Structure 1
């Protein structure tokens, strides 16, 4: 059998979902044909312009407008603006024949079976046999859609359900039809994980599949518990957000974003189509939700839902909350619970669940009721919606952004304890759970030899979860493969002669312990290993240097200590670059300030596509002081070509730092000069990142890595550049684009990147630039306005413009 490759896809339907999926295929380098219907009538503007329905621009109006709207939306569906050129638009009358040339046709039209069947009938006339054809439905049974289609169509047809927004939510549900070929499911499962960067989950063809069946149950259960315990929406959002490893938008804010009508549509679908569901009554829509629907309070799209943006009498913007009893909007109330106070010192979310379900207040009541219902419900969904319990956890983590799936939460509180919570609520687990305990298996999951195992109902034993071979899961190897640890890092042996240095500080900030750990990692790697990866699997790679520590030293005027601390940071970065072994950085999520400097000093960067990286030090009133300012000057120097206006090149790098630019994807970081074309690489699936970084470290070592020689040939432009920068900052301050203090910081940066006020362009050493950088950084730390900026950032997490 020939190997299936996806070079071109056709997306049928250009609504929010269709355009979003089209953008994500363009993100990964696939050519996309995006088709939609022809408009039935002209707009007044088109009539006035004398256009007719036969004009090509009119015939493609709907698809072009939908794609343009999607590309303008925030957060962006596309990694880089130019990737949109991979999408060709058309309409279902003039361009449908073009589907004969694609490798995969995906239908994303309105959720109505009759319309979907009409579309498939049209498509089948032009589809080349053997082409994949799938439907992105969130609930219509797959078996009905392919009725009456040819044998070849049915063999290659299934459901492929992306979650919105397609770029950011990782769940990719694959739902077989009655005749789907197994090789098609295997291909899509692998393709979703490796190329689309998703968590692929093969689900059964049951209403709402896995993610929405469990996710909507969880929300409907909250609706009932809220009324039972007399809770406010703020209280629920406080309890169901980051404290239990779920998104900041928690429950009610998430519903506002998704749309209350969408939620109710799925809930009604489950209620109507799951007559044997033991909790069918829970899917009845509560009165307060019905009233909100009648009032068109659907959330963000109608301007109000559970929360409402408002401008008060003083003209200030504020957010009001809905009172669930009176159904009137009121000022937001703060929510505090003694139980939550007990979890403040517990950094590992999994360790909090035991404490939360033991709470003696309303929070404890909420958690006991909520988790008991959730655990009982998921135990009863096996084998109805899937044979494997881990698929339910995967779906909830990838589709709803939960840090832990229901069975993982149950393991965290203890399987026996979970059953006790259920019984207190008059619920029972499915009999297979008691059978599991009776057979000597005391948990749903276990870890052996760096791999995760899950309980298998058929085999009645713990079986290795398939598909882990391309991943390295640090949680699974941290203890068994630990080589060294301090309070800031754990250094693990990844095997094959490669070490990994994993940050373990709060928000992965880089302070003294982390720097000591990095130096130790280089020492160990140089002595006994062949390469070093700097990577972790936290929410973010690192938010940068520990500014709290800098603030304390500056306030106490301990300038000698501060000078030493900055030099230590610089020296550590230079050690990354000039060690005897290859170093590979693996940034993902927020990789700011010092984390960006670290990445720029590794031999290679293996970045996750979702990496938000940049030198943001201006926001706290300083310049990059961990070798970042030096590095931008060096990179500008390496980019100078004969005939270039060298000043313009330097200015681009200067503005990247001065405007504290942050890339909104790894691909944008190449434009900023933070990542380097031809050297650094991007991985779409973050789960593969550490394994890929390890492979690159191994490749560098095998290619005969030699320790680089320190640079003495950095071309700086001196007075010529400095003069231009100072004139520029002067005019920006004069026209009030920047404050006086902004100008002071920018001038310090200008001095460093110009190489000081040298009378002519000169070749200098890296150390020369590092000394200028450190001096500038230190002098800014003596400024009151800089200290105000650092303090404001520490207090609020937001930059201050003063």
Structure 2
């Protein structure tokens, strides 16, 4: 499927952000909306594009990408739709409005263009009826979740006449080009994720009222403690928008009159009151929660007013939730009389009941339901996974007992297949009631690129590959392995440490793995699932500082530098495959590789300043090399202009918020690969390593004459620091750390424009690093970070 230009109809919240994510993928986008009632006709869209830069989290991976979005309006620009291979409608959820727009745009679509609706729950079949017969095979639902850049799920919903081949091609394109995870949904109201997710919210609300619990109390137990997002239940409602929640509930109420749970498809009176008063959630700064200064208030329906939020978890409930065994945990909740435990058991039970009853009608199989809830609502496990992990037969029996006793939200019986099986996920696939069989994962070619795709509970694990060599205990060291079926000549080097930190065993492992790759392989990929690496093992550093073992620490830093240089100067290409955080030493490792393949959501940075240190694994040296090369091509050959931004980046511990920003900040190179789907990073990196090897790649020679900014550069950086210190923006120790960063970047206390070797700069940064380690303030920062996970500003 070749798509170069996309049109998005509707510049509201979703439309503008879908356009932004298409721009993230390197596509040209035309964003349409109504002409402005006064002034330039494209004002509505221009404001929407400008507003993208103000949103947090940012819809654009780089603000510069906004230039890829062209404003347009329905009055004068419909002919431009003919330029686009894909047109996505994303206007308000009003059937009449959508059908009216379809009549206007259909004549202008290119003959082979795909037309899709981003509706969150309206009938795709009914929408298709508003299109010419010739266009219907190229029409379907493509439901993005908000915010489109960050939420992985896209529900793909066919209309009655949609061409099956088009759906397959579109699924592949959405997966690789936009980085999405696709679930095929049936054309039922609210499809899969919103149907189950909103029912889950309604179930929690029902049991909150029944058990007399407070909203903040419920949020304390329905968030991370049960594998759900921090926003839990009521904060999620505020984030989504209470009016939006009301709309989705209304769709269920109107479109599902025969649903056995229909009586519960209604909002509580207190929520109607909030909506009527304009308290719609986060977008109006007040909803179920409200912030006053630094204090968080929560709505109390009995008083129709707000109070300070507390949200404490009962001790006995916390103990149950801390249990590791899922069966013990769920059984403990069912047996515990505390209202908090009863809310959790009741909510789990009713969601399990609802999903089992409706599975045949809303999804092809149980995997689609669980995947939709993982990817669309951020659940750590889907409902069927949770049920299966807790003991399928035992939980089914408990649900049947509660139904018989009238404790469940509906008296609808569980389907017979529930009692005929011991779970829904197995090595052979996931259960489909319609097919009365297990269905394997989709076999589309695009999924062959996902070499380590996540698996649901009960599914076969991803291929582990062939281990070539490994070192260290289970929680440390590295593993060198390969995937012979794909490429036996390219090895993969993965860290086994927690958060993939770099300690002594990892350093020795990197050196040995590079040596083995040079001897036995054609190339090497440095990869591990997110995070890539959060840097040096700070625990080991802190313990060595406490013991006064600074000579040993200097040896470790020297070994770190040696490992980084081994990656840079290996006789086979080393490709870093990055997803998630790549911080401090992890960032330095990827900077030294021959090439980088980065997931769009890669967060890269040299953050050592946060603990009172500077980069000493070659990060400062790499920035100095970049400045040297850029200056050689610039008029006058002055190095410092190219050092200044690097200095600010290191001194402020700036972290790139996307792969695009990583390139802009100099952590990655313009020629590196940016991959939208994180689970394709390893595949692309293996292919890239093979291509480099086939092209006769050879390592760069060590630089022996790097022009550095020297004393004048250090002095110029110090002027900036003096102003910040006098203004009270930085502490005395911040000043000391930032000056050390400037000294390393500028090549040390040498003459301006002096020529030094790479090793000289490495020696400078290592000496400064160890000097900072010996200061009390840095030791305090390290201890505070280890204790709290937050930087100390001392």
Normalising by structure 2, what TM-score? 0.90
Which region of structure 1 is more displaced relative to structure 2, 25-34 or 225-234?
A: 225-234
Deviation at 1:741, TM superposition (A): 1.6
Equivalent residue in structure 2 for 1:444, among 389, 402, 424: 424
Match of 1:581 in 2: 572
The alignment partner of 1:175 has SS state of strand
Give 1:709 shift: 4.1
SS at match of 1:691: helix
After TM superposition, give the deviation of residue 546 of structure 1 in Å: 2.6
Contact 1:487 1:513 in 2 (8 A): no
- Partner Cα separation in structure 1 for residue 767 and residue 74 of structure 2: 64
Match of 1:669 in 2: 662
Contact 1:117 1:145 in 2 (8 A): yes
Q: Decide which of 214, 226, 250 is 1:232's aligned counterpart.
A: 214
**Partners in 2 of 1:292 and 1:443 — Cα distance?**
42
Query: Structure 1 stretch 104-113 or stretch 282-291: which is displaced more?
Result: 282-291
**Cα distance, 1:482 vs structure 2:** 4.7
Q: Give the direction of change, closer, same or farther, for the CA distance of 1:145–1:676 in structure 2 (3 Å limit).
A: same
Q: Greater CA deviation, 166-175 or 508-517?
A: 508-517
Greater Cα offset, 778-787 or 698-707: 698-707
Corresponding residue SS for 1:610: strand
Inter-partner Cα distance in structure 2 for 1:26 and 1:66: 14
Give the conservation status (yes or no) of the 8 Å contact 1:719–1:760. Answer: yes
Match of 2:762 in 1: 770
**DSSP 3-state at the match of 2:440:** strand
Residue 164 of structure 2 aligns with which residue? 182
State the distance in 2 between where 1:739 and 1:668 align.
Answer: 28
Match for residue 431 of structure 2 among 432, 436, 455:
455
Q: Structure 1: how far apart are the matches of 2:329 and 2:465?
A: 27
Q: Note the alpha carbon deviations across 1:689-725, whole angstroms, 9 max, x for none.
A: 1221222223233334445544333332322322322
**Contact 1:599–1:605 (Cα < 8 Å) also in 2:** yes
Gap change, CA 1:696 and 1:243, over 3 Å in 2: farther
Tell me the equivalent position of 1:355: 329
668, 681, 693: which is aligned to 2:673?
Answer: 681
Q: Distance in 1 between matches of 2:562 and 2:320?
A: 40
Q: Does 1:159 pair with 2:141?
A: yes
- In structure 2, the gaps of 5 or more residues are 455-460
Structure 1 contact 96–123 (Cα < 8 Å) conserved: yes
Q: Equivalent residue of 1:712, what SS?
A: coil
Q: Which residue of 2 is the match for residue 389 of structure 1? A: 366
Equivalent residues in 2 for 1:87-98 (5 A)? 87-98=69-80
Q: How does 1:309-348 map to 2 (within 5 A)?
A: 309-311=291-293, 317-323=294-300, 325-336=302-313, 337-338=315-316, 340-341=318-319
Indicate yes or no: 2:82 matched with 1:82: no
Q: Alignment partner of 1:609: what SS?
A: strand
Q: 1:571 to 1:343 in 2, by over 3 A?
A: farther
- Aligned 8 A contact 1:60 1:90 in 2: yes
* Matched residue SS, 2:135: helix
**Structure 1 residue 373 displacement after superposition:** 1.8
Q: Does residue 26 of the first structure (1) align with residue 18 of the second (2)?
A: no
Query: What do the CA deviations read for 1:145-179 (whole angstroms, capped 9, x no partner)?
Result: 23253211222212211111111111111211222
Note the 1:640-679 alignment, pairs <5 A.
640-642=631-633, 643=635, 644-678=637-671
Q: Output the CA distance in 1 between the equivalents of 2:510 and 2:453.
A: 17
2:476 pairs with 1:488? yes
Q: How does 1:595-634 map to 2 (within 5 A)?
A: 595-634=586-625
> Cα 1:94–1:445, aligned 2, differ >3 Å: closer, same or farther?
same
C-alpha distance in 2 between matches for 1:514 and 1:420: 49
Cα shift at 1:746: 1.4
Contact 2:374–2:381 (8 Å) recurs in 1? yes
216-225 or 467-476: bigger deviation: 467-476
Gaps of 5+ in 1: 43-54, 312-316
Give SS of 1:301's match: helix
User: Are residue 546 (structure 1) and residue 523 (structure 2) matched?
Assistant: no
Q: 1:453 to 1:518 in 2, by over 3 A?
A: farther
Deviation at 1:308, TM superposition (A): 1.4
Residue among 346, 351, 363 paired with 1:369: 346
Does 1:499 pair with 2:517? no
Q: CA deviation at 1:731?
A: 3.4
Q: 1:761 to 1:310 in 2, by over 3 A?
A: same
1:13 aligns with 2:10: yes
Q: Tell me which moved more, 140-149 or 156-165.
A: 140-149
1:732 corresponds to 2:724: yes
1:167–1:653 Cα change, 3 Å: same
SS of equivalent to 1:667:
helix
Contact kept? 1:80, 1:665, Cα under 8 Å: yes
Contact 1:522 1:579 in 2 (8 A): yes
Aligned with 2:151 (options 148, 151, 169): 169
Report if the CA contact (8 A) 1:142-1:205 is conserved: yes
| Alignment partners' CA distance in 1, 2:443 and 2:386 | 21
CA 1:284/1:505 → structure 2, altered by over 3 Å: closer, same or farther? farther
Q: 1:582 to 1:285 in 2, by over 3 A?
A: same
1:359-400 alpha-carbon deviations (Å, 9 max, x no partner): 464454344322222222222222211222211122112211
Q: How far apart are the structure 2 equivalents of 1:652 and 1:421?
A: 62
Q: 1:469 to 1:414 in 2, by over 3 A?
A: farther
Q: Does 1:530 align with 2:506?
A: no
> 1:692 and 2:671 equivalent?
no
Q: Name the stretch that deviates more: 716-725 or 704-713.
A: 704-713
Write the deviation string for residues 102-121 of structure 1: whole angstroms up to 9, x where unpaired. Answer: 21222211211111111111
Q: Distance in 2 between matches of 1:265 and 1:370?
A: 22
More deviation, 121-130/524-533: 524-533
- TM superposition shift of 1:513: 4.2
| Inter-partner Cα distance in structure 2 for 1:663 and 1:390 | 34
Map of 2:224 onto structure 1: 242
TM-fit CA distance, 1:15: 0.6
Corresponding residue number in structure 2 for 1:510: 502
| Structure 1 pair 602–358 and aligned structure 2 pair: CA distance change class (3 A) | farther
The match for 2:97 is 115
| Correspondent of 1:789 among 781, 784, 788 | 781
Moved more, 606-615 or 330-339: 330-339
What are the superposed Cα offsets for residues 74-103 of structure 1, whole Å, 9 maximum, x if unpaired?
A: 111111122111111121111112212221
Q: Which moved more, 1:477-486 or 1:126-135?
A: 477-486
Shift of the 208–662 alpha-carbon distance from structure 1 to 2, 3 Å rule, reads same
TM-score (norm 1): 0.90
